[in-house]
Structure 1
Amino acid sequence: MKLGKRLAGLAMLALTLGFAGQAVAAEPIKIGVYLPLTGQNAFGGQLELEGIQLAHKQMPTVLDRPIELVVVDNKSDKVEAANAVKRLTERDKVSALIGTYGSSLAMAGAEITEKAKIPGVGTSCTNPLVTMGKKYYFRACFIDPYQGAAAATYAYETLGCKKAAVLMDMTNDYAVGLANFFIRSFKKLGGEVVGSLKYSSGDQDFTAQLTELIAKKPDIVFMPAYFAEGAIIMKQARELGATFRLMGADAMDNPDTVKLAGKAAEGFLHTTFPYDPTMPTMSSEAKKFTEAWKAAYPEKDTNVNGALGYNSYFMIYDAIKRAGSADPEAITKALAATKDLVTPLGTVSINATHDAEMPVGIIEYKDGKRVYVGEVTPKQ
């Protein structure tokens, strides 16, 4: 009788432990997301979130555990970005982070991530300072020295521009950095920079700066602006009779750029990441992403920000899978070892400075449409 009770007890204990094991296996792996969902950069943040959510829908589990997204709005503010990361790492206990659109926001968040020793993957934050000296922060995009050099190379060699000027937001780290990298590269190529003019975030009237630029007669003006301000600059430049080409960077890569600028966008150029639905040649992974996006968001065009959000999630998913663990240190090591990962943005590898290596695409606006005209390898 006693033996029977003992066996029954052991069976119950085994069953209990089995249920406990299932409970542990089913415990979600939390990935934090901090993006600007309101404020100046909200449009870009929302597009990236849609890409992240699409990737999560396609890859909802890893290591036989569900993945849980914990999303926080950084409100396009540096202090809010730091607070968002603090909340995600301390309260929500995430294993990894995705974010953010906007280099200034990412720099604020990266400092907190580094102290918390939680790996983070920046979506479209291109300023070198985001990852500089960081052990735990990575990014899914190229960096501004590379992008600025690509813009200068395309302007000088492909377009044949010999005289350039820049117009930049002096209050924005992204704009200041890109403008300086463009200037340095354009001069190195043999070009002349005839002017460097400034404005502040939120300005609506650029007449004074544009009038001065027209007087300096550059062949091209590089303006690393966000799309809303960039569209205003385009309109005012054409109203003033400017004949120089205007060129922007990845922050201009937005479905609403041509809607806001209208006819003034004709001939406008900007650098971008190597994905676009108008690409003359598209990889199988890019095609899969495009088809999945259209199925998930039939009312919205595919876009590069969505692809970057998708890639950021995919990089973390791949790192967890290769590490065989959701431990932050293990994920960090796996992210650093990412090599030849086939993605919608091409084959991505993470280099020694934790930046993604990929080509630079060029968009030109023709007949009211954005056209992917090709890629450029910068001469730095």
Structure 2
Amino acid sequence: MLLVLVGLLASCKGWTNAGAEIRIGVVASLSGELSDASGMGMFNAAHLAVDEVNEAGGLKIGNRTHPVTLLIKDDRDQPDEAVRVTRELVQEKAIAIIGPPLSRNAIPVADLAESLQLPMITPTATNPQVTLGKKYIFRIAFIDDFQGNVMARFAREDLGITRAAVLYDVASAYNRGLAEYFKQEFERAGGTIVASETYTTGEQDFRKQLQRILAAQPQVLFLPNYPPEIVRQIQQARQVGITATFIGGDSWGDLDLATYPESEGAFFSALWSPEVTNQTSKAFIQTYQQTYNQMPDDSAAMTYDALGLLFQALQTQGVVEPEAIRQGLANIQRYEGASGALEFNGTGDPEKSAIVLQFKSGKAVFYREVLP
């Protein structure tokens, strides 16, 4: 979609009738434990999207063509820092915010952005609280009740599992919410949760909880947590004797877990896979590879789409005003993006397919697509 948009802008080369620059804020985790997982994908894709528009002459809004400037801030994967840098972006006249990528940081930033009537699009945050009750907050990802239900049904129906256990961080909204959605749907589908164990952020030794899980004899162990906790958990689980199949949420795609032998055979839900493509995603993958000499990840594809949605809303409305941008985003019913088809039904949450991947022989491979 964005690549098509750039083609339409080609006639604007030379900044004819140029307007003031459009400043767009990006809040990404460029440092911290998950910086390698989502930060650089966001950084690269944001630059790619904006460079394509500027190289084509800028963004035509109304009868003026505007250069687009990125203002990128590092939230260091800390909620307080995410809020602080968002306030900086407001002072620097950003018209909208892309990010943060993680729910634990996106929730407080969304609260702030909503209070300021500042449009925000998070590429990958999945917790429902990010957008709940808000008019100015949007996302590209599916939400946790959907992916929790997907993985519960997958375990119950595709794998034929009747006994499941869960281990999750009770202090994190993402982990806690996804665990609860999984448990509810698994039991609704006729399965039994034989063990549900918790810990708090920062813990590194999970063997006590895992010993109790071992005694319950589950067939699958659901770990809706963040790396590097996942690595320690799968290693310690095998050490105490758990042989159950591991399953996880979209956070499992944030680390190269396939390099750990304990992950072999595990399944997890993913926001995007380069194996499920449309014309937009094929063009995006090709351009991203040519530019950065690597394959894009889900955070890259979804950041690219977040900017594409914002550009479309601005062009449709023809003015650079918060309420107009909000209306433009809210009125987009279907968007064929790099991360797939997005359908919005009057909320900030799209209907979007989930991808189930499996770790096999050191790689995450496509297993199936689950439609909304």
Pair in the same fold by TM > 0.5:
yes
What CA distance in whole angstroms lies between the structure 2 residues aligned with 1:292 and 1:238? 41
Q: Is 1:265 the counterpart of 2:263 in the alignment? A: yes
Amino acid at match of 1:330: A
What CA distance in whole angstroms lies between the structure 2 residues aligned with 1:367 and 1:360? 23
Any conservation in 2 of the 1:106–1:125 contact (CA below 8 Å)?
yes
Residue in structure 1 matched with residue 273 of structure 2 by the alignment: 276
How many residues of Structure 1 are paired with residues of Structure 2 in the alignment?
Answer: 350
Residue in structure 2 matched with residue 6 of structure 1 by the alignment: none
Q: 5+ residue gaps in structure 1?
A: 1-21
What CA distance in whole angstroms lies between the structure 1 residues aligned with 2:227 and 2:52? 30
Residue in structure 1 matched with residue 240 of structure 2 by the alignment: 240
Q: Is 1:117 the counterpart of 2:117 in the alignment? A: yes
Cα distance, 1:24 vs structure 2: 7.9
What CA distance in whole angstroms lies between the structure 2 residues aligned with 1:311 and 1:42? 20
Q: 5+ residue gaps in structure 2?
A: 1-14
- List per-residue Cα deviations over 1:219-251 (Å, max 9, x = no partner): 111111113211221122223332101111111
Q: Is 1:34 the counterpart of 2:27 in the alignment? A: yes
Residue in structure 2 matched with residue 367 of structure 1 by the alignment: 361
- List per-residue Cα deviations over 1:301-325 (Å, max 9, x = no partner): 3211111111111111111111122
Residue in structure 1 matched with residue 154 of structure 2 by the alignment: 154
Cα distance, 1:333 vs structure 2: 0.3
Residue in structure 1 matched with residue 81 of structure 2 by the alignment: 80
Q: Which of 273, 289, 295 does residue 294 from structure 1 map onto?
A: 289
What CA distance in whole angstroms lies between the structure 1 residues aligned with 2:159 and 2:92? 50
Any conservation in 2 of the 1:154–1:376 contact (CA below 8 Å)?
no
Of stretches 28-37 and 41-50 in structure 1, the one that deviates more from structure 2 is 41-50
Alignment map for 1:174-253 (pairs within 5 Å): 174-253=174-253
Of stretches 150-159 and 196-205 in structure 1, the one that deviates more from structure 2 is 196-205
Cα distance, 1:101 vs structure 2: 1.2
What CA distance in whole angstroms lies between the structure 1 residues aligned with 2:309 and 2:148? 25
What CA distance in whole angstroms lies between the structure 2 residues aligned with 1:292 and 1:328? 31
Q: Give the secondary structure class of the aligned counterpart of 2:67.
A: strand
Cα distance, 1:255 vs structure 2: 4.9
Any conservation in 2 of the 1:227–1:253 contact (CA below 8 Å)?
no
Residue in structure 2 matched with residue 354 of structure 1 by the alignment: 348
What CA distance in whole angstroms lies between the structure 2 residues aligned with 1:132 and 1:104? 14
- List per-residue Cα deviations over 1:179-237 (Å, max 9, x = no partner): 00000111111110111101222222222121211110111111111132112211222
4+ runs deviating over 3 angstroms: none
Q: Give the secondary structure class of the aligned counterpart of 1:150.
A: helix
What CA distance in whole angstroms lies between the structure 1 residues aligned with 2:315 and 2:123? 20
- C-alpha change, 1:23 and 1:282, in structure 2 (3 Å) is closer
Q: Which of 47, 50, 57 does residue 44 from structure 2 map onto?
A: 50
Identity %: 31
Residue in structure 2 matched with residue 10 of structure 1 by the alignment: none
What CA distance in whole angstroms lies between the structure 1 residues aligned with 2:270 and 2:308? 20
Cα distance, 1:335 vs structure 2: 0.3
Any conservation in 1 of the 2:33–2:228 contact (CA below 8 Å)?
no
Q: Give the secondary structure class of the aligned counterpart of 1:227.
A: coil
Cα distance, 1:342 vs structure 2: 0.8
Any conservation in 1 of the 2:125–2:139 contact (CA below 8 Å)?
yes
Amino acid at match of 1:337: N
Amino acid at match of 1:39: G
Residue in structure 2 matched with residue 305 of structure 1 by the alignment: 299
Of stretches 60-69 and 186-195 in structure 1, the one that deviates more from structure 2 is 60-69
Q: Give the secondary structure class of the aligned counterpart of 1:321.
A: helix
